[in-house]
Structure 1
Amino acid sequence: MTDETLRPRRSVLYMPGANERALEKAKTLDADALILDLEDAVAPDSKEEARERVCSAAASGGYGSREVTIRVNGLDTEWHEADLRAAAEAGPDGIVVPKVNSAAEVHTIERALEFTGAPDRTTIWAMIETPVAMLHAEEIAAASARLDVLVMGTNDLAKELHAEFVPGRTPLLGGLSLALLAARATGKTILDGVYNDVSDAEGFEAECLQGRQMGFDGKTLIHPGQLEPCNRVFAPSADEVAQARKIIDAFEEARAEGRGVVTVDGRMIENLHVDNARRILALSEAITTRQ
């Protein structure tokens, strides 16, 4: 049985809010979720026009089964308050807030959404981008039931760490792991950061695989060409689905027969393996349903 609260977030694509053609093209792309961006992708003199365009697009209902979010400008900017108010009125699936550094900031965002009458379904996606955010990730994640997703901002994190971008991301793994622990401890979704070199398909897929192996639910993307490998890597493979069914069938058969020991292909099966198998099947079914 599919977990009705499970939403595939394998691929989450940033779309520039100032580009009307890009917002229209997003309706045809195979992304699980979209971030209509008012922050980095929009020049200062285009902020107001982009805000109107993005909020209209989000409110249009024209993106099918794709989850639609709006990234507002940061709390310390002159555009944040107007962005948040307009986004709340548009009622997207989520509002992405950059550089969230504390539980107090989450509370401020939550109160603002309530004050502006944002629908209950509009959740908070908090971007974790700084050393202080990594060190307080659990407090941030636990600050509000409305906060649903942690989004890693790996470019800003690398900048603040004075770290180099290297294959395998060794300089960033400590921060990524802290955020992952916080997400799992509080039951939140967590998305890996972007991969900057859109021409490096091999490097991108390797980083997707690393992210999945670490435990991320999906990855944020900057180009439509990154969608196919990302969706493939973060989805259960046919072999994984078949093995999951095999584990569940063996467990249920043993339980019906009163047997306390279950083995599959010579391996002892415990409840944790069954739980993981059920999660794999639920994700596979949710992906199929979205398509």
Structure 2
Amino acid sequence: MFKKVLREPLVHFFSVALALYGLFLWAESQREAPIRISQQQLDQFAEYHRTRFGNTPDRAAVDRYVDELVTEETLYREALSLGLDENDVIVRRRLAQKMEFLLRDGGFVETPDDNALRDYFNAHSARYRPSPRATFVQLYFSPDRSASLSAVDRASATLTSLTADTCSDLPKSDADRFPGGERWADQTPDSLRRTFGDFALTEAVFTTPVNRWQGPYESGLGWHLLCVTHRDNGAPPQFSAVKSQVLQDYLNDAQAQRYNRSLEDLKSRYVVELPVSGAGAQ
């Protein structure tokens, strides 16, 4: 009998109507709830006013501030009652960002002892090693130059005449003028990538034998012959010299791990539904 009643269209109609009415009552209650201005808000405004203008705000300034708060809260509640927060990408993103901030900021990470810090330092020692640096000479062969031989062929031909030469004196060659010059001092991998790109030349500066012409090596600008005159691969620092940075990195990693665990816990509460495989794929 009860199942038969549940199948009646009229019952469905009244159920939906009751749900909508409940939603309406909730929206109305939110709309009609008092707009409360806290003493903390007023104190914060007074402190801001003293910092910004050098004096305590008068009654008119406080009234204007209260009116701004009331206006904002009124518009916010009315927007919610109209459902303006639904299907709004900007609102969704802002709420997600605030939730992410709460997850990242929540809780306390216990300060590790020296043994834990040393273990962390040893496990991430590459992070604290100084960047290698190199000083070198390069000869540039432009692919844009009009010549009977290609840039890489011109570089290869030039190399045969440089095999016995050192880098002390820049030899005469068929090389082209390079905007940054031929001699480069105290360069790191990052600084070279910014100039030459992530190509073979950048890697060769830190791997080829010293004081010997090598190449040709390609860059994002053309082809190069290379002679490294000095290279410092960077000695690993002592733990005591970087202890403060190790501590900060340890705490940052611990907070990131806690955030990821919290996020995965939240995700586990939801069922994710994806479109049928292949639907909409191009």
TM-score under structure 1 normalisation?
A: 0.20
| Bigger radius of gyration among the two | 2
| Structure with greater strand share of residues | 1
